[in-house]
């Protein structure tokens, strides 16, 4: 038992900044952000979800946590929607010198790395412990496949919004991602930039397109590995970046998923939760026996009553029901709890032959 618990804890311990957990805001289905650079659909996201530059550390250029908001200031909020495997971002930044004149990696960059299932470990080829083996197919089977790195150009007026550091550039297009910017400055000027986007994290993102891909399944209270860094280029054209401000506090977060940080996919905030609600799903266990497993997914319930649509009932929370003959059944669940009563039915979803 003890060993089992230690193993369960390992993925989190394997992340950087142990004990730190950031939150991903759950948007209600009726308030999914529109990707247009207008921040108004983020106005209701509480400040406790905002991750500012005070959480970042320059681990390359030696400034540590000594940020200067006159040089760079960033605030990030991350959101998700139950039922969609997408991570929404609002990136708001002030920079004293927006550097985006060259069509290469010399550009102000918001770099996001995501590992949706905490697989951990190296994710880009040059971080592989034995990179010499990554020849031919092996390279394409590995590079960016189990966790993804997005070098997002801020801004990118005349080219793709992002360089995917991997071998699956298809993930930067719809229906896998989308982005919009809002800014009013020219190269070399100061000002504020807003970037609104979403990405789809993949447990498996092969080089040859989406057909064999496996999206990371996003579920309430799931922990994902996520981090970002801001590469602040402030000119000159041949210069290196001035700061590498990263949330993980470990430079290698860019290529090693074990150096990401824990983010929790949060439940809805209280303002969108009902004191009681009824929901359920079902699974056919054995069609030849007409055996169906019903799963309660209600909130705030302390008692349950199922009407299986064939004249039979149950007061179990997660009943298994055997239908005596086939049909298309209307199943209803009635629940009660301290917050009152609720019910939920599905009309002819349960089809038995
Ligand atoms: Ca918007
Ligand atoms: Ca700057
Ligand atoms: Ca993964
Ligand atoms: Ca800059």
Q: Considering every ligand atom shown, identify the ligand nearest to the alpha carbon of residue 89 and give its number.
A: 1
| Nearest alpha-carbon partner for 112 in 13, 248, 268 | 248
Same fold, 2-265 and 274-352: yes
In CATH terms, is domain 274-352 a member of 3.90.226.10? no
Res 238: pLDDT: 85
Residues whose CB is under 5 A from ligand 2 (ion)? Answer: 71-72, 95-96, 232, 234
The predicted-structure confidence for 152-176, as pLDDT tens digits, reads as follows 999 999 999 999 999 999 999 999 9
Cα–ligand 4 centroid distance for 150 (angstroms) = 18
Residues with pLDDT less than 70, the chain: 1-13
Q: Considering every ligand atom shown, identify the ligand nearest to the alpha carbon of residue 69 and give its number.
A: 2
| Nearest alpha-carbon partner for 219 in 76, 116, 115 | 116
Q: Considering every ligand atom shown, identify the ligand nearest to the alpha carbon of residue 119 and give its number.
A: 3
Please give the radius of gyration of the chain, using alpha carbons only, rounded to the nearest integer: 24
Residues whose CB is under 5 A from ligand 3 (ion)? Answer: 115, 117, 119, 146-147
Cα–ligand 2 centroid distance for 4 (angstroms) = 48
* Angle CA 69–42–234, to nearest 5: 30
d(CA 11, CA 9): 6
Q: Considering every ligand atom shown, identify the ligand nearest to the alpha carbon of residue 98 and give its number.
A: 4
CA distances to 9, 115, 227 from 258, in Å: 14, 9, 11
The CATH number given to 2-265 is: 2.60.40.1190
Q: Considering every ligand atom shown, identify the ligand nearest to the alpha carbon of residue 36 and give its number.
A: 1
d(CA 88, CA 104): 26
Cα–ligand 1 centroid distance for 81 (angstroms) = 15
Cα–ligand 1 centroid distance for 281 (angstroms) = 33
Cα–ligand 2 centroid distance for 239 (angstroms) = 13
Domain spans, the chain: 2-265, 274-352
Which residue matches tokens 């981090």? Answer: 227
The predicted-structure confidence for 41-50, as pLDDT tens digits, reads as follows 999 999 999 9
pTM beyond 0.85: yes
């Amino acid at each position: 038992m003890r060993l089992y618990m230690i193993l369960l804890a390992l993925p989190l311990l394997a992340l950087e900044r142990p004990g730190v957990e950031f939150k991903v805001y759950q948007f209600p289905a009726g308030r999914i952000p529109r990707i247009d650079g207008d921040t108004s659909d983020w106005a209701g996201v509480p400040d406790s979800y905002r991750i500012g530059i005070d959480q970042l550390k320059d681990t390359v250029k030696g400034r540590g946590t000594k940020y200067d908001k006159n040089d760079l200031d960033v605030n990030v909020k991350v959101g998700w929607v139950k039922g969609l495997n997408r991570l929404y971002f609002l990136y708001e930044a002030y920079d004293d010198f927006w550097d985006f004149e060259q069509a290469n990696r010399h550009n102000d960059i918001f770099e996001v790395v995501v590992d949706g299932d905490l697989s951990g470990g190296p994710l880009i080829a040059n971080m592989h412990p034995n990179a010499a083996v990554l020849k031919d197919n092996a390279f394409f089977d590995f590079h960016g496949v189990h966790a993804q790195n997005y070098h997002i150009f801020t801004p990118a007026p005349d080219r793709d919004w992002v360089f995917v550091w991997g071998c699956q550039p298809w993930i930067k297009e719809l229906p896998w991602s989308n982005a919009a910017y809002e800014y009013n400055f020219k190269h070399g000027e100061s000002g504020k930039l807003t970037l609104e986007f979403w990405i789809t994290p993949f447990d498996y993102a092969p080089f040859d397109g989406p057909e064999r891909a496996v999206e990371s399944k996003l579920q309430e209270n799931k922990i994902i590995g996520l981090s970002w860094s801001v590469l602040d280029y402030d000119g000159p054209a041949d210069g290196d970046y001035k700061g590498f401000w990263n949330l993980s506090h470990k430079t290698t977060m860019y290529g090693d998923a074990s150096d990401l940080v824990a983010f929790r996919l949060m439940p809805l905030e209280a303002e969108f939760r009902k004191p009681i609600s009824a929901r359920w799903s079902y699974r056919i266990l054995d069609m030849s026996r007409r055996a169906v497993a019903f799963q309660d997914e209600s909130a705030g319930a302390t008692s349950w009553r199922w009407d299986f649509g064939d004249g039979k009932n149950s007061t179990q929370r997660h009943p298994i029901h055997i239908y005596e003959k086939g049909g298309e059944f209307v199943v209803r669940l009635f629940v009660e709890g301290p917050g009152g009563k609720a019910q939920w039915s599905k009309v002819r979803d349960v089809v038995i032959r």
